[in-house]
Amino acid sequence: MMWYWGAGANWWALLFGILLNAVFWGLLIWAIVALFGWARHGRSYGSYGSYAPSDPERTLAMRFATGEIDADEYYSRLAVLRERRGPDTPPAPPAYPAAT
């Protein structure tokens, strides 16, 4: 007697379909999470995190912290920045929070 298996899919086609379905839903969920993260944190999300240096004093402090400039150059440039700021400009926030 002959057995007829038909023209249906084999086990590998079923496995491929399950894996493809998992990849599709994983990518869709990842895209939604990334979209909400981008909308919440702005365009700097991923490159700088929540820190985007915009203030010149913060940029100078970051260069000092990474070792690009030494302490003498840092303090001399900081003094120049504070001189040029002018009397009607509000003071800049501190570059780093004070250690407790």
Give pLDDT tens digits for 33-67.
Answer: 999 888 887 655 445 444 544 578 888 888 999 99
Q: Is residue 71 part of a domain?
A: yes
| Residue 60 placed within a domain | yes
Residues 14-28 pLDDT 10s: 899 999 999 999 999
Spatial separation of the C-alpha atoms in residues 49 and 30, rounded to whole Å: 18
Task: Tell me the pTM.
Answer: 0.38
pLDDT level of residue 89 (50, 70, 90 thresholds): low
Please, what's the b/e burial string for 27-57 (b: 16 or more CB within 10 A of its CB; e: otherwise)?
eeeeeeeeeeeeeeeeeeeeeeeeeeeeebb
Residues 15, 34, single domain; the answer is yes
Give the residue-averaged pLDDT of 64-74: 91
Task: List the domain range (segments joined by +) for residue 77.
Answer: 53-87
d(CA 77, CA 25): 53
Q: Is residue 98 part of a domain?
A: no
User: Any idea what the Cα angle at residue 39 is, between residues 33 and 41, rounded to 5°?
Assistant: 95
CA distance 70 to 74: 6
Residue 94 maps to a domain:
no
Higher pLDDT: 65 or 92? It is 65
